[in-house]
Structure 1
Amino acid sequence: MEETFPFHYTLMDYLLCLFGLLMSLVDIGLDCWTVVSFYQNGNYVYMGVLIFFLLGSSLLVQVFSWIWYSDTPDNLQTHVEKFVKKHHLLKAFHFMQLAVYLRYAGLVEISTHRFLRSDRFKEGVSVNLNHDLFMLRLIEAFAENAPQLTLMMSIIAMRRELTLLTALKTLGSASALAASVVTYHRIMREFLPDKHKLKWSSSLVYFLWNLLLILARVTALALFASVFPCYIIAHFLSVWMVLVLVVWGQKTNFMDSSCGEWLYRGTVGLIWYFSWFNVGSGSTKLKNIIYYAVMGLDTMALLGFWCWKMEYCIPPFRPYIMIIILASLYVLGILMKILYYKKFHPNCDEKKTELHEDEPAMRAVACSAFIETDSAESSDFTKPVTGAQKRMRMMASNFY
């Protein structure tokens, strides 16, 4: 990697990394506490489902991490990674479900080194590590937290025990999901040459529309699961398979192997089940219209079945009010997304691609990849790249 790799890992990024590590440890503690609570209360079915979500998502994250380490076996840059590789502990770390914490340790080490010595080489490596780490966190969020939130909300709906505390917990969990999307979105912005001009206002709008849409979707799934607990599995499998085929039709090229690419497509299908995640090049307007129209109809259908079932249990006006509220959240979320792309979404200025002689061509490539895909095609890259740089470049060109 070039010493003048044009990215800047700030103190705020460093502190957010430490905060993310702390929250990850807290999340493990809360998950263990929830499992124990289900066991003590005799809710063995809920406990089993929750353990399935926890283990399944962790296994998925470890597989992605292992594939990414295997794709670039000679690019382990940190002392932590080199130590683990030297003593043949990489497989052991992944087997013990510790891949995320290994990456956190490497990022903290290299970021600390960067601040103490102001090393631009280490700065670029930090961006690579940051991207893969938060991509894994995003996968974990939708493979574990989203299904777990759906389970918890369905339990609340079945027991009809909605209190202010449970409502705040639900809102907090949904906010954490939206925050994971925003965090990854900001990581992609590292590729913008004018990153220092970014404002938090755009991230706030981005967070709000994701929160509204995720909350509407997850609530509808939870209400449906509360009255048709078995059919929610059939619903997920049928919708997920269709979404995977759609991802396949996008001709994605995110991973370096065909098996890894199909794993990625299946994971994107899982994310799409809850929220939009752009993975293809070209115009995104039509894709967004189709996605939100289809998912909106699916969400309303789930609410319709729930309302039909609940008419036999409680007065009918309550389910209708819930449908109106969730439909309003969904529409408001779409309107806020339109506002974001009209007023806050960054586009790369072609005039900023002029380079100094001592700067690498990577800067021009990074900027050209960010030109809005609705108005121009991304430039062909003459130099093949693999590993983290390929993944960052691919996702960045899709995001911007």
Structure 2
Amino acid sequence: MLSCLAPRYRLLDVVFALWGTVAFLGDLGIDVWSAVTYYRAGRTVLALLHFGLYVLSSFVLQLLSCGWFWVDWETWCLHSLEVGIAAYKRSESSHYQEYAYFLTHDISMMRLIETFLENTPQLILVLYIIIQQETIHLFQYFSIAISFICISWAILDYHQSLRLFLKDKEKLNFFSSFIYFLWNFFLISARILCITLFTVTFHWMIVLHFVGLWLVFFLWACLQKTDFMKRKLLEPFYRATVAAILYFSWFNIADGRTIHRCIFYHTFITIDSLLLLLSWKYLKFPSILDHYESLFFWLAVLLTALGLIIRMFYYKYVHPNVVKETKKVSDETDGMVEGKFRMFVATAKKPYKIQNERMAHLAHQIY
């Protein structure tokens, strides 16, 4: 096993950790503001739905934490920022850097799960309420803006932290990070727009749509035989969580050639989004959206096209493996060499034991 030390914690890594913490605190504040506002306006059901999504995501995170011995992630969020800043101030690479990357990755992964179980459904709910009421309040402006940014940022933050966590992977620079954020922002925005428009017309039927696709993605995760959880009884629960993420965004979960699965997924999800959009366009009831029908329709199409084009541009020109041409690109399982995973050397028993065990399960998620 290689014994190279972790790369030095960069200023860009500190910025990622800082922004992630700020986004988390801002999102929490908006959640409280929204729930209280709905409750005071007498819309108890909306307040309960808003708060219920927070409870659901917290429950899922806690259950998954049991599978990897994670501690309370809300407390660890601030701790990881503190450790990251301290690691950046150290001029030399050290095992302290490893611990910073370890914490950063855990927080990023939990934030990603929370984003798709709480923030994304909440955003769709807010957009649905605005369209139904044909009015928008100040807190909803903040909620929409923060949600769209946080969702795209959570995907970028997780991918960045994963590349930092896996020592042999090339890191994202500022430009590649921006492009990665951009194509995720466009694709997520288009997906959310299509789901929202469908919900405005068909209301509760979106639940049937979600359950149907969730079952498809859950079966897909099962067929790929994921092996992420230390406690095997929780593996189906992890697959169920991944299926919920896949309803909104791509998430790689298995070894092998990623591009084929990626093309299949984007083809499937684009067709599904188009069907949602067409259902709204031709079966909708009269509403305030009639004046903006063409705008919303072509906006969804444009966002999807831009997202896919920018994604292809990213992998063709600014992907870390392309930028560093001397790095050999292979279709083997990422992080493998001579049958062993390259990983940081453990110096502390418990955190690094968990780190090394999980390293093998995370290597394939780089794409």
Shorter-chain TM band: 0.7 to 0.9
Report deviation, 1:258.
1.8
Q: Once the 2 structures are TM-superposed, how far is the Cα of residue 277 of structure 1 from its aligned partner?
A: 0.9
Question: What is the alpha-carbon distance in structure 2 between the residues aligned to residue 376 and residue 48 of structure 1?
Answer: 43
Q: Which residue of 331, 344, 353 corresponds with 1:373?
A: 331
Match of 2:199 among 210, 225, 237: 225
Choose the corresponding residue for 2:236, options 255, 262, 268. 262
Question: What 5-or-longer segments of structure 1 have no aligned partner?
Answer: 71-89, 91-98, 353-369
Q: Deviations over 1:247-292 (max 9, x none)?
A: 1111212222222222221111111111101111211222122111
Q: 1:233 and 1:140 mapped to 2: Cα distance?
A: 19
Asked if 1:55 corresponds to 2:55, the answer is yes
Instruction: Give the whole-Å Cα distance in 1 for the aligned partners of 2:341 and 2:314.
Output: 34
Letter in 2 for 1:373: D
Q: What SS does the corresponding residue of 2:282 show, helix, strand or coil?
A: helix
Match of residue 75, structure 2, among 98, 102, 105: 102
Matching residue of 2:30: 30
Instruction: Among all aligned residue pairs of Structure 1 and Structure 2, give the percentage whose two residues are the same amino acid.
Output: 30
3-state SS, counterpart of residue 269 of structure 2? helix
Mapping of 1:163-312 within 5 angstroms? 170-190=144-164, 191=166, 193=168, 195=170, 198-310=172-284, 312=286
Q: Secondary structure at the match of 1:274?
A: coil
How far did residue 17 of structure 1 move? 2.5
Quick check: 2:163–2:169 contact (8 Å CA) kept in 1?
A: no
Q: What residue in structure 2 maps to residue 388 of structure 1?
A: 355
Superposed CA offset, 1:196-216 (max 9, x none): 7x4211111111110111001
Given that 2:214 and 2:247 are in contact with CA atoms closer than 8 Å, whether structure 1 keeps it comes out as yes
> For the Cα contact (< 8 Å) 1:14–1:111, is it kept in 2?
yes
Q: Which has the higher contact order (CA 8 A, sep 6+)?
A: 2
Structure 2 gaps, min length 5:
344-352
AA aligned to 1:289 is I
User: Is structure 2 residue 133 aligned with structure 1 residue 159?
Assistant: yes
> 1: distance between equivalents of 2:86 and 2:160?
23
Q: Counterparts of 1:194 and 1:288 in 2: how far apart (Å)? A: 20
- Partner residue, 2:5: 5
- 1:13 deviates by 2.4
Say how many residue pairs are matched: 355
How big is the alpha-carbon RMSD for the aligned residues of Structure 1 and Structure 2? 3.2
- Deviation (angstroms), 1:131: 0.9
Q: Partners of 1:4 and 1:377 in 2: how far apart?
A: 14
Change (3 A) 1:16 1:339: closer
Deviations 1:131-169 (A, max 9, x none): 111110111111111111111111122223369996675
Which one-letter code corresponds to 2:366 in the other structure? Answer: F
User: Could you say if the C-alpha distance between residues 199 and 234 of structure 1 is closer, same or farther in structure 2, counting changes exceeding 3 Å?
Assistant: same
Q: Point out the more displaced range, 330-339 or 389-398.
A: 389-398
Q: Which residue of 2 aligns with 1:355?
A: none
When normalised by structure 2's length, the TM-score is 0.85
Cα distance in 2, alignment partners of residues 214 and 283 from structure 1? 24
